[in-house]
Amino acid sequence: MTRVRELSPYVELHRAQWRELRDSLPLPLSEDELVALRGLGEPVDLAEVADVYLPLSRLISLQVAARQRLHETTTTFLGEETNGTKVPFVIGIAGSVAVGKSTTARILRTLLARWPDHPRVDLVTTDGFLHPKAELVRRGLMHRKGFPESYDRRALLRFVTEVKSGAPEVTAPVYSHVAYDILPGERNVVRKPDILIIEGLNVLQPGPSLAVSDLFDFSIYVDAHTDHIARWYTDRFLALRSTAFANPDSHFHHFSELSDEEARTEAEHLWRTINEPNLVENILPTRPRATLVLRKDIDHSINRVRLRKL
């Protein structure tokens, strides 16, 4: 194992080194199951699940048990009964638009739920905590979607606090890419999970006071070269013309008729004016805070893993 440098809190491992840490765990996922978890344009294969995600699920599983013992220590110190109650273990997954966070989150969710010690794994995406469209318009933030100020950060913090406090049922709002808005009356319900995964662009942002990242027990940053992500964003935009944009109800339906060249120009404009500045100004600066960084090559494959060990 190579150290990044002396006295560094990180260890950086090539995939071949990280793979060894699987410790002969069997692969509990079939090809068909993986296909159902993959997002548009995400080519992750079973070899990557075995090499990258299985060791990761083993590390997290060990940390879930250790964290539980730590909570019990605090409860005992306070003179309270432990009663065997478990505090949900919270994992944050951050990274740019179009880097593949949602695929990472879904694979991890599925693998973690196959461990007997923590079968109840819930996944919530932070787009549900975007302010509704009318509020974004009122605040002049329609071109800042995904920036920290476009979210109701207090509601997100309250949501995770309630889940960690053991509330029997906590609900989160639901965002729709089709409506381009929060869906009124729809809620995601979370009922005392063993593990909660929170996935979103800016989940690792620190706050002026307590931020949601302060409640994470483990965090993952999905990383790639900015120019590569720009290409993935454009490629996905082109592919969305015949999938999501083809839906007449889609907010972006007018894009479905664009030629390749027109679509490329539009995607590059959206990338340059919204998603790249958000990545550079807000998301990338949070990378050093992540417990684990998954670094992708231009072909989307994960080739390096950086773990914070201190």
Ligand X SMILES: Nc1ncnc2c1ncn2[C@@H]1O[C@H](COP(=O)(O)OP(=O)(O)O)[C@@H](O)[C@H]1O
Ligand Y SMILES: CC(C)(COP(=O)(O)O)[C@@H](O)C(=O)NCCC(=O)O
Quick one: what does residue 244 bind among ligand Y, ligand X, none, with the CB cut-off 5 to 8 Å set by partner type? ligand X
Smallest distance, ligand X to C-beta of residue 49, A: 17
What is the spatial distance between Cα 225 and Cα 233, in angstroms, rounded to a whole number? 12
Smallest distance, ligand X to C-beta of residue 64, A: 24
Quick one: what does residue 126 bind among ligand X, ligand Y, none, with the CB cut-off 5 to 8 Å set by partner type? ligand Y
Quick one: what does residue 274 bind among ligand X, ligand Y, none, with the CB cut-off 5 to 8 Å set by partner type? ligand Y
The answer to whether 57 is annotated as binding is: no
**Which positions ≥6 away from 207 have C-beta within 8 Å?**
153, 157, 213, 214
Amino acid at 184: P
Structure tokens at 129: 């905590």
Q: Please, which residue, 56 or 87, has the CB nearer to ligand X? A: 56
End-to-end, the C-alpha distance of the chain in Å comes to 16
Q: Please, which residue, 102 or 202, has the CB nearer to ligand X? A: 102
User: In the window 186-215, what residues touch ligand Y (CB under 6 A)?
Assistant: 200-201
Q: Quickly list DSSP for 86-106.
A: -PPEEEEEEE-TTS-HHHHHH
Quick one: what does residue 99 bind among ligand X, ligand Y, none, with the CB cut-off 5 to 8 Å set by partner type? ligand X
Task: Tell me if 102 contacts ligand X by CB under 6 A.
Answer: yes
Residue 134: exposure state from Cβ atoms within 10 A (0-12, 13-18, ≥19)? exposed
Q: Contact with ligand X (CB under 6 A): which of 54, 64, 91, 99?
A: 99
- DSSP SS3 for 66: helix
Residues at the site binding ligand X, with contacts judged by CB under 6 A: 39-40, 95, 97-102, 177, 240, 244, 252
